[in-house]
Amino acid sequence: MPVGGLVPRATDNAAELVVRNARIHTQDPRRPHATALAVTDGIVTAVGDDADVADRVGAATRVVDALGRRVVPGLNDAHLHVIRGGLNYVLELRWDGVPTLRQGLAMLREQAARTPKGQWVRVVGGWSAEQFAERRLPTVAELNAAAPDTPVFVLHLYQAAVLNRAALRAAGFDRDTPDPKGGQIVRGRDGEPTGMLLAAPSALILYSTLAKAPVLQGEDRKTSTRHFLRELNRFGLTSAIDAAGGFQNFPDNYRTVVELAEEGRLSLRIAYHLFPQTPGQEIADLTRWIEMARPEDGDAWLRLNGAGENLTWAAADFENFSQPRPDLAPDYEAEFEKAVRLLMENGWGFRLHATYDETIRRDLAVFEKLAADGLFPAGNRWLFDHAETVSPDSLDRVAALGGALSVQNRLSFQGEAFVRRYGTGAAADAPPIGDMLTRGLTVGAGTDATRVSSYNPWVALHWLVSGRTVGDLALRAPRHRLDRETALALFTRSGAALTGEEDVKGVLRPGCYADLAILSEDFLTVAEPVIPHIESLLTVTGGRIVYAAAEYEGLDEELPPVSPAWSPVAHFGGYQAASGAGLPGVRQAESLAEAVAEAELHRQWRVRRGSLAPTAGTSFDPCFSL
């Protein structure tokens, strides 16, 4: 019988999945628009209209009616700390998207009451004081009042952390604790720590303190990672490039994603990097890894992409815009050159954390020296990350050496601090994306989540398009703002180019991965303020439905319950979208009770563990199994 207008007729060439009645933005210049597509064995096999997919519908084909919604290729975050984020996700109370500090403190108080002895409440990234109506951080007194006995650690960007009395005790801070290099323990008149930690300018004090908190073990690591990947799928993400980072040791901290890949349980494709962790040991680590692995080892779900985002610690600048630009060691180039030479001689690409043009110019001088020796072959992928203050001259040099760039919306969260430090003129060009694109450079886009920016890619896409911070400050000049199709390409096709997968990823055409998202709002036409609030209603990775909401509720793969049961994620979920902050006509919470009620509503309808009823009032099934 016909279902959804399609009659099952296929036998040998039946598709596993067909999406129809859609507005598909394919990003394929040969056929940029379509209304239907078919998927077999995780690959797109047909793109067009109902007639083009009709002969691929068989008795077992799942047909999804997009109900006229926008469909886009699955998003690809080109710089996301997804492996580290997954290992910690269920332990963290997320303030991403929370519109008021009052609501955040209410969540924190409730979480402290259920957190068992020995555990911490940790708020780690994804928010800025500028997003709150109060425009400020929580005070130490507020944390002490909310959690008098449970350690609380609240991280604010790369700038500071606020700890309550219990956390100071748990971390071992007292009047005799010395300030670490590049960090400050703020003290009162009596010499005792107040609870404020400052990056001055290095964030090591913040992360080394956080590392003292308990970590997950065993199967809980897998469960946490799977729920984090599901949360990313919620926003239409189907791929990410993991930029490694501090306190992410190889191979130990990579075992969870490796095991999930071997079990076929990843719902997000991950290309990962390796980051030397110990100053003075970088060359030895890189040498050991070169003997162990090769770039592109792995498969379509998990693959090695190269080294970085640090190669040597001495060459890394800090992006704490509340502090002056750090002066790097005058002689870091010698060791840095050894690292780059070693990688290039062995066919390894790399990515480099570089915030400031001063760092980029020094790095480029090393690259140009090695290029003169023939050590920058065209096939070796390398890129600069961040590049907020990169100059036109440096961009020309990057282009001449065949490099690329990856930009993140860090100024969505730190834009106000950047303006206070460098002025509105510098902020208008930070980073100069228009100049990058006019030079023909490959530019991928990402978030740099989870410890500064939020992992919500639509916040980043809003920043690319509007140039506005989460506090609604307009920063970037019009020539560095992007039209929506270009912004989307940076989050799809360009990210694929950074991993050498542009022939199979980021485009919906036959022969490419069946990675796509049906959006809650049409990104290409919706009002600009609504962009950060877009979510996916149905996300498909490799032909598998990995996230489903609203009319599609229950079509995705079941996850195990969040564990441990006291986890903040089990009660509040991740990104807080229920309040409708910033949406026209949506009333904000007017009391603590209302704020908590909003968080509970969000938990019920957005953090799904297979126990929720279908959307009320639904009188049809948009997905048909024939």
Is residue 76 a part of any domain in this protein?
no
**pLDDT of the residue at 576:** 95
**pLDDT of the residue at 318:** 84
**pLDDT of the residue at 614:** 32
pLDDT above 70 for 307: yes
User: 86 and 224 in contact (C-beta within 8 Å)?
Assistant: yes
Is residue 476 a part of any domain in this protein?
yes
User: 242 and 269 in contact (C-beta within 8 Å)?
Assistant: no
Average pLDDT, the chain: 91
Residue 202's CATH number: 3.10.310
Identify the domain boundary among 452, 480, 500.
500
Is residue 381 a part of any domain in this protein?
yes
Q: Are residues 179 and 225 in the same domain?
A: no
**pLDDT of the residue at 7:** 66
Three-state secondary structure call for residue 90: helix
Structurally, the chain folds into a number of domains equal to 2
**pLDDT of the residue at 342:** 97
Between 592-606 and 101-114, two packed helices, what is the crossing angle to 10 degrees? 70
Is residue 341 a part of any domain in this protein?
yes
Q: What are phi and psi of 369, to 5 degrees?
A: -65, -45
Torsion of CA 8, 10, 14, 18, to 10 degrees: -40
pLDDT above 90 for 604: no
Pick from 181, 121, 131: nearest CA to 155? 121
Q: Are residues 474 and 490 in the same domain?
A: yes
Q: Are residues 261 and 386 in the same domain?
A: yes
Identify the domain boundary among 159, 190, 213.
213
Pick from 159, 150, 253: nearest CA to 205? 159
How would you classify the pairing of strands 23-25 and 33-34? antiparallel
**pLDDT of the residue at 583:** 32
Q: Are residues 344 and 293 in the same domain?
A: yes
Identify the domain boundary among 213, 230, 251.
213
Q: Are residues 485 and 452 in the same domain?
A: yes
Alpha helices in 467-538 (DSSP H): 484-490, 493-498
- Note the pLDDT tens digit of each residue in 487-532: 999 999 999 999 999 999 999 999 999 999 999 999 999 999 999 9
Is residue 175 a part of any domain in this protein?
yes
**pLDDT of the residue at 245:** 87
Q: Give the whole-number percent of the chain exceeding pLDDT 90.
A: 86
Q: Are residues 249 and 185 in the same domain?
A: no
pLDDT above 70 for 603: no
pLDDT above 90 for 473: yes
Q: Are residues 306 and 205 in the same domain?
A: no
- Note the pLDDT tens digit of each residue in 562-601: 999 999 999 999 999 854 433 322 333 444 445 444 444 4
Average pLDDT of the residues in 433-445: 98
**pLDDT of the residue at 626:** 34
To 5 degrees, how large is the angle CA 263–CA 266–CA 271? 115
Distance CA 24, CA 43 (A): 16
Distance CA 283, CA 340 (A): 10
Is residue 438 a part of any domain in this protein?
yes
pTM of the model: 0.92
Q: Are residues 443 and 374 in the same domain?
A: yes
Helices (H) and strands (E) in the chain, counts: 20, 24
Confidence of residue 8 (pLDDT cuts 50, 70, 90): low
Q: Are residues 275 and 378 in the same domain?
A: yes
- Note the pLDDT tens digit of each residue in 319-373: 899 999 989 999 999 999 999 999 999 999 999 999 999 999 999 999 999 999 9
Is residue 494 a part of any domain in this protein?
yes
pLDDT above 70 for 89: yes
Distance CA 238, CA 270 (A): 9
Distance CA 555, CA 546 (A): 8
pLDDT above 50 for 615: no
**pLDDT of the residue at 13:** 83
CB atoms within 10 A of CB 624: 19
Instruction: Tell me the CA distances in angstroms from 336 to 54, 203, 313, 398, 499, one per residue in order.
Output: 57, 21, 9, 17, 23
pLDDT above 90 for 558: yes
Distance CA 462, CA 565 (A): 34
Q: Are residues 258 and 363 in the same domain?
A: yes
Q: Are residues 201 and 345 in the same domain?
A: no
**pLDDT of the residue at 11:** 59
Q: Are residues 323 and 190 in the same domain?
A: no
Instruction: Tell me the CA distances in angstroms from 137 to 127, 157, 200, 215, 459, one per residue in order.
Output: 10, 11, 18, 26, 21
Distance CA 208, CA 213 (A): 10
Distance CA 161, CA 185 (A): 10
**Positive or negative torsion for Cα 451, 452, 454, 460:** negative
Name every residue whose Cβ is closer than 8 Å to that of residue 448 and which is 6 or more positions away in sequence: 79, 80, 81, 243, 385, 386, 408, 409, 410
Is residue 257 a part of any domain in this protein?
yes
Show the domain range for 143: 120-213
Residue 320's CATH number: 3.20.20.140
Instruction: Tell me the CA distances in angstroms from 194 to 169, 171, 182, 266, one per residue in order.
Output: 12, 13, 18, 43
Confidence of residue 395 (pLDDT cuts 50, 70, 90): very high
Q: Which helix (H) or strand (E) holds 341?
A: helix 333-345
**Positive or negative torsion for Cα 136, 141, 146, 149:** positive
